């Protein structure tokens, strides 16, 4: 979650300063001759080496990914219940949230520079539970179709929704929100070959290709009516839109949701 108050955008090379070394022994201090160190002692008293980072991205697995997940969880950006060491969509989404909150270019890739920034941000968390829990959107496609909006384990709201019709199904799985628009004109082709042009679609949150969670006025909700998007009453879409950052995970399931 957002931690701009405690983040200092220093040049990354300034984050790892070597400590001062005290090399004179008590006996040497009593001697009139300056203390000297053998080659072996020089090796022993070398500065602690800087931590080396490698770029981490989708579908990689390592102990470095596990450490990144731990730090993002400490910052309340990582919403998956366990640390896996696998860089999947939850890790990608958490990185995107951190990038978005810190006004960085959003691509979900943990570069060495970004990893150092995240590690530095963790040092400035005031208390373990000072940050709000991450959000999560869950959509179930069993009739009546319904969306659940969580913060951590707390259900904030639930609403009937509409998903994609045959030939334009809403994708199943988990995806990070990658773009948001307060209002947008949506154009495209229906499965029957006709075209649609809908101006002023409100509270648009894209999560997979051209599929988004957004507001849309319908006479009824709770069954497939869209061409792939998750449609909500505009008032409900607004509540979600105003809260979620880029990187928030949207999970679409074709069975009953657990809440």
Catalogue the active-site residues. 214, 229
For residues 131 and 199, give the distance between their C-alpha atoms in angstroms, rounded to a whole number: 37
**140 CB-side CA count, 13 A:** 14
- Judged on CB neighbours under 10 Å (0-12, 13-18, 19+), 14 is exposed
CA pair distance 110, 115, nearest whole angstrom: 6
CB 252 within 8 A of CB 141: yes
By C-alpha distance, which of 166, 201, 206 is closest to 183? 201
Structure tokens at 60: 């990689």
What does the chain come to in residues?
259
Burial of 66 (0-12, 13-18, 19+ CB in 10 A): middle
């Amino acid at each position: 979650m957002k931690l701009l108050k405690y983040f200092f955008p220093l040049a990354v090379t300034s984050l790892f300063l070597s400590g001062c070394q005290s090399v004179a022994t008590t006996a040497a201090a009593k001697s009139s001759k300056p203390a000297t160190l053998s080659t072996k002692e020089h090796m022993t008293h070398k500065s602690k080496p800087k931590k080396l980072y490698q770029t981490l991205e989708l579908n990689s697995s390592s102990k470095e990914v596990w450490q990144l997940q731990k730090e993002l969880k400490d910052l309340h950006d990582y919403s998956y219940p366990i640390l896996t060491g696998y860089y999947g969509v939850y890790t990608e989404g958490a990185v995107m949230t951190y990038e978005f909150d810190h006004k960085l270019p959003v691509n979900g890739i943990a570069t060495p520079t970004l990893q150092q920034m995240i590690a530095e941000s963790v040092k400035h968390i005031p208390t373990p539970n000072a940050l709000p829990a991450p959000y999560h959107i869950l959509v179930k496609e069993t009739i009546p179709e319904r969306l659940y909006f969580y913060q951590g384990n707390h259900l904030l709201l639930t609403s009937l929704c509409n998903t994609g019709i045959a030939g334009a199904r809403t994708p199943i799985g988990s995806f990070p929100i990658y773009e948001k628009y307060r209002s947008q004109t949506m154009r495209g082709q229906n499965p029957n070959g006709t075209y649609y042009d809908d101006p002023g679609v409100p509270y648009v949150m894209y999560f997979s290709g051209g599929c988004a969670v957004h507001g849309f006025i319908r006479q009824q909700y709770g069954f497939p009516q869209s061409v792939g998007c998750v449609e909500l009453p505009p008032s409900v879409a607004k509540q979600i839109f105003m809260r979620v950052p880029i990187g928030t995970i949207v999970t679409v399931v074709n069975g009953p949701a657990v809440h």
